[in-house]
Amino acid sequence: MRRNTRGFTLIELMIVVVIIGILAAIAIPNFIAMTDRAREGTTKSNMHGFQVAAEDYSVEHDGVYATSANLVATRLPSNGARFRNPFTGTTGSGNAYEYAAWVVPLATSGAMGIVTYADSSANLYQIAGRGKNADISIILTSGR
């Protein structure tokens, strides 16, 4: 009698499932870490965009920097309507950017992806950003 030997055995299928599980266990944490690094890179880009907008405001106001983050945001494309927090996807004051009291070095409120702006009475400004777990070590200043 001839036996029909089509298909896979249960052992072969279990081995394939284990191999796929091992590959997923390696790939998923790397993907999550890469996503977080990309979001922190977007936060740095947002910080630079806010710096350019602050300098634009200064040029239009005879070298005086804005006294609030909302004034700077009006210099962003679409008046800041498309300025998004890369971690939450939210826009606007308190969500994507915020204003803080002058402290050296400037610290954020702690919200992931937020860009913080502060000005001093000496016509200086600082811009800081927050990554997933801590403030980003780059602080942009007016350079004076």
The overall average pLDDT reported for the chain is: 91
The reported pTM is 0.81
Return the amino acid letter for 68.
Answer: S
> Do residues 95 and 113 touch, judged by C-beta distance below 8 A?
no
pLDDT band at 93 (very low <50, low <70, confident <90, very high): very high
2 pLDDT higher than 70: no
DSSP structure string for 65-89: PPSSHHHHHTTSGGGGTT-B-TTT-
Query: Which of 2-11, 75-84, 103-112, 127-136 is the least confident region?
Result: 2-11
> Do residues 47 and 127 touch, judged by C-beta distance below 8 A?
yes
Q: 9 Cβ partners below 8 Å, 6+ apart?
A: none
Q: What pLDDT, on a 0 to 100 scale, did the predictor assign at position 44?
A: 95
